[in-house]
Structures are given as structure tokens and as C-alpha cells.
Amino acid sequence: MLSGKTILIGITGGIAAYKICELIRMYKRQNANVRVICTPNALNFVTKLTLQNLSQNEVGIDEFNIPDYKPEHISYADEADIMLIAPTTANTIGKIANGICDNLLTSVVCAFKKPILIAPAMNCNMWQNAAVKENIAKLQKYGYEIIDPEAGFLACGTEGVGRLCSLDKIFDRTVEVLNSKKKLSGKKIVITAGGTIEDIDPVRYISNYSSGKMGIALADCAFEQGADVVLISTVHVKRNYKIVKVKSALDMQKAVNKEFETADCVIMAAAVADYRVKNISEQKMKKTSDDEISIQLVKNPDILKEISSKKTIQTVVGFCAESENLLENAKEKILKKGCDYLIANDISRSDIGFSSDYNEVTILNQKGIVKKLERSDKYSIAKEILEVIYGQERNNEDNRELCTSGIC
């Protein structure tokens, strides 16, 4: 299943480095070409000779060892289809997140434009360190995929989250990324993200707590699977796909309508404000002696309902955020909106939803509940959502073909 693929493995100086020997063998059994780069400290845990014998390739360590006059970090980056860094130490995570290129491994990462998987492994207190968390968030923002460490007994003798995740999980994810890139090829998917901002005056506005993380995760996942992605976002983000920056609900409506006709799928993950200020003040509103102030609000357009009413070939997916009676409200909403799917979020929980890196959702269609996705990182949730949407679409296409053949 990996025949013809080149996998570049970066190994850093953590005790879990020895486990990568078995991972190399797993890749080789599937006919992958495996190349390895080590940081100098990684060789304290595993030998260069072992890695060379297992990978059947020279192991890169020295940034200035340049055979055939080729800059080594560029040649590694050009030749590989995917890069995996495992185990990834807190030190290397910090370097990559901040663009530091002080060894061969970090220089290759900086030049690598294909998928990069990062599998951290460290002491549980290090994993919970605020600086490490911030660096991980940076990497996710830049488009790196983090394969989170697992809980268990650590080499330092303590129990906690920090051990390298299972080799099977790393292997499976590598295969998925390499073999799923064209799954959505030819599909134009429009995704909205973030909370809209409705001005009151030049310095104040009405908005909500949406971070845009779920919409961005959906866009990243769809792009990785080969889709032509358009992300309409209130949140500033840099990616390799098309991004349309908007502010208000009216801005978002205009942007969605512009892309809708040529879209195969529209996923409304943004939290669009229900109301906007009727008369926006051109100057800053001054505080008065009055104890109360009134601002008149008017309804914003219902973008989801609007596009659902005019869809032809498009699949329209909505989101709902509820603090109570999640499923009852979601079932009522999907019937009112007329969309094909509705993703229901419970915002009453602090461990998922707004601003969190994790989510737990229930997917509904017009007939009822399709699937419940248990708590997981938002990228994994995004992947499952796309699988439900396009898995269902493939099943419908198969059924149509059978019916046309007289077999239904």
C-alpha cells in the first residue's frame, strides 16, 4: 500500500527514539522507500548503523555534508512524499514553531511543502507546559498535523500523558494521508469559519465566542484530500488554499453567494450573528449620565436557510450550537433550515466546542441521527464529518447506478 512512496522520518533526542526502528520496518514491509534524519542527540538513544541497515539508506545528520553539490536539506525535502517527526521533543517543537533552522532536521522541515506529521513524546509536565502548548497551537495553525501523545507509564517513572502514541496509529495515519489526497479531487468545497462581527460604533461590536477552529480543521482536511477549498473566515489564517476574509454576517452572505453556484458542498461552520445593529454610529458613542442605553437590533439574513432553498446539486451542511436540549433543538433546526446535514454541538461543556481544540458532535440528516462522534481533536472530527458526507454520497450514487440497471 506504500509502494512508490518515500517517507522521510525525523528522529529527535527522546527515549522513544528506539521505537522508530520497528516503525521503519513496518513501512518497509509495505514497500516504502524510507529515509531518516537524526538530530545529533537522537544518536544517544539509537545508532546510525541500525537506522541505515533498517532503512537501507544513508542516515542524514550533518547539515553541511553535501554530496554531489546538492544542498542536502533541499534534496531531502524534494524527494519525500511525507515527513514524520517521531519522537518530537519539546525542544524541536519550539524550534519548528519559531522558524529556527539550526540542524539538518529543522532546515528540512522549513523547506518541506508536503504533509508533515509530528508525534510528540516527553515528560507529562513538559507536555502541559504553557510554552509547549503555545508552540503546538502554532504548529497546528501553520498546518502541521499533531498526533497527540498517550497516557501511560513514562520513562522517568511517572504516570501521565506524554508517551509516544502507538506505532500502529502513526503507521495508519501515514497511510491515510498518502492514500487519501485525491479522495475529494474535483470537488469544490466552500467552508465558513469564525464568529461574525457586527459593529456598534468604530470601537465596539457584537460577536460571539467562536474561534473558527472547527471550520479551519474542516478546510485543512478537505484540502488534504484533494478538494478545491474556499474558506470564508472571520479569523485571520494563512493556508495554501483560497481564503476569503470577511467580517459581518452581510459580508459572509455576499461571499457565500459568490461561491455557491460553482460549489459541490457548502459547510456553514461559522457562528453567524442572528442580529446586527440597525444604525451603526459613525463616531464613538460617548458615555452619558444615563444608567441604561438602548441599541436597536435587526435580524441578519439566514444564510444557511437561504442557500438550502436554492441548492440543486450542492450538498449543504449546517452547524448548531446548543446549551440545552441538543438533539431536540437540532432535529427542529434541520427541518426549518432545509440543509442536507446538521452538525450539533453541545456548548455547555468546557472541554469541547468554542475555543477548544476538541469537539464532540452528533451528525443529523433530514431523516434523523446519522452518527455520533465522541470527543476527539477537531481535525479528527472534521475527517469523520467529511467521511459521513461523502461516504453517504457514494452510497447514493451506487444505489442510483443499481436502479438504472434495474437491480434496485
The CATH number covering residue 85 comes to 3.40.50.1950
Q: Output the domain CATH number for residue 384.
A: 3.40.50.10300
Residue after which a domain boundary falls, among 159, 179, 199: 179
383 and 254 in a common domain: yes
Out of 209-223, 227-241, 275-289, 388-402, pick the least confident: 388-402
CB 144 within 8 A of CB 173: no
Q: How many helices (H) and strands (E) does the chain have?
A: 13, 20
276 and 135 in a common domain: no
Q: How many structural domains comprise the chain?
A: 2
Asked if residue 181 has pLDDT above 90, the reply is: no
pLDDT at residue 348, rounded to an integer: 81
pLDDT at residue 250, rounded to an integer: 97
Tell me how crowded residue 306 is: count the other CB atoms within 10 A of its CB: 15
Q: What's the whole-number mean pLDDT along residues 151-171?
A: 84
Asked if residue 392 has pLDDT above 80, the reply is: no
**Active-site residue, selected from the candidate residues 101, 156, 320, 408:** 156
Q: What's the whole-number mean pLDDT along residues 306-331?
A: 93
Asked if residue 134 has pLDDT above 50, the reply is: yes
Residue 115 lies in a domain: yes
pLDDT at residue 94, rounded to an integer: 96
200 and 98 in a common domain: no
pLDDT at residue 405, rounded to an integer: 35
Q: What's the whole-number mean pLDDT along residues 116-136?
A: 93
Residue after which a domain boundary falls, among 146, 179, 212: 179
CB 177 within 8 A of CB 117: yes
Asked if residue 403 has pLDDT above 70, the reply is: no
320 and 368 in a common domain: yes
| Torsional sign, CA 258, 259, 262, 268 | negative
Residue 211 lies in a domain: yes
pLDDT at residue 356, rounded to an integer: 83
pLDDT at residue 2, rounded to an integer: 87
Which pLDDT band, with edges at 50, 70 and 90, does 398 fall under? very low
Asked if residue 288 has pLDDT above 70, the reply is: yes
User: Which carries the bigger pLDDT value, residue 66 or residue 289?
Assistant: 289
pLDDT at residue 399, rounded to an integer: 37
Asked if residue 377 has pLDDT above 90, the reply is: no
Residue after which a domain boundary falls, among 152, 179, 206: 179
Ordered DSSP codes for 314-357: -EEEEEEEESS-HHHHHHHHHHHH--SEEEEEETT-TTSSTT-S
pLDDT at residue 55, rounded to an integer: 96
246 and 169 in a common domain: no
pLDDT at residue 62, rounded to an integer: 75
236 and 353 in a common domain: yes
pLDDT at residue 393, rounded to an integer: 47
Residue 408 lies in a domain: no
Asked if residue 176 has pLDDT above 70, the reply is: yes
201 and 273 in a common domain: yes
- 124 catalytic residue (yes or no): no
159 and 75 in a common domain: yes
C-alpha pair distances (Å), 367 with each of 220, 317, 362, 364: 29, 14, 14, 8
Q: Give the residue carrying C-alpha cell 470577511.
A: 246
Asked if residue 72 has pLDDT above 60, the reply is: no
Residue 371 lies in a domain: yes
Q: Give me the residues paired with residue 316 across strands.
A: 266
Q: Is the pTM of this model over 0.85?
A: no
What is the grid cell recorded at 52? 541505515
The most confident of 71-75, 81-85, 155-159, 324-328, by mean pLDDT: 81-85
pLDDT tens string 334-372: 999 999 999 998 888 877 777 788 899 999 999 998 899
Helix (H, G, I), strand (E, B) or coil at 30: coil
The most confident of 68-82, 365-379, 387-401, by mean pLDDT: 365-379
Q: Which range marks the domain in which residue 329 is found?
A: 188-402
193 and 175 in a common domain: no
Asked if residue 76 has pLDDT above 80, the reply is: yes
224 and 167 in a common domain: no
Residue 1 lies in a domain: no
Q: What's the whole-number mean pLDDT along residues 208-228?
A: 92
Asked if residue 180 has pLDDT above 80, the reply is: no
393 and 369 in a common domain: yes
Provide CB contacts within 8 A for 69, sequence distance 6+: none
User: Which carries the bigger pLDDT value, residue 182 or residue 369?
Assistant: 369
Residue 407 lies in a domain: no
Which pLDDT band, with edges at 50, 70 and 90, does 305 fall under? very high
Residue 267 lies in a domain: yes
Print burial letters for 62-84: b (CB count within 10 Å at least 16), e (below 16): ebeeeeeeeebbebbbeebbbbb
381 and 245 in a common domain: yes
Q: Give the residue carrying C-alpha cell 522520518.
A: 9
Dist. CA 236–CA 257, nearest whole Å: 21
pLDDT tens string 93-122: 999 999 999 999 999 999 998 899 999 999
pLDDT at residue 65, rounded to an integer: 58
